[in-house]
Amino acid sequence: MNFQQIKPGHCDVFVWVAVWRDIIKYWVFASREVEKNKYYSKGQHRGNIGEGQLHLNHDNIKEFVKYEAKPKELLEKIVVAYKRQNKYSK
């Protein structure tokens, strides 16, 4: 799957949800973590600036486990990701 039209420069934290028939997954990223990820492709469309997509697939999804959150953890994980983002900004 691809998370498309991502604009890391326009937010501090991303919360992504993927829904399959048998599971729902949540990921919480600091914006900079998306932008610096090796699976992030900058320039999704010709001429665009600051927008890209992040590719998750069967082969690399395990690399994103550290960003997963359970529904009850979402607020806490968002706050922690926000703090990481601010650490990157300094």
CA distances to 21, 29, 77 from 14, rounded to whole Å, are 23, 5, 11
Per-residue pLDDT, 63: 95
**pLDDT computed for residue 25 by the predictor:** 94
Q: Sign of the C-alpha dihedral, residues 53, 2, 67, 76?
A: positive
Q: What are phi and psi of 72, to 5 degrees?
A: -70, -15
User: pLDDT (tens digit, 9 = 90+) per residue, 32-74?
Assistant: 999 999 999 876 666 677 788 888 888 999 999 999 999 999 9
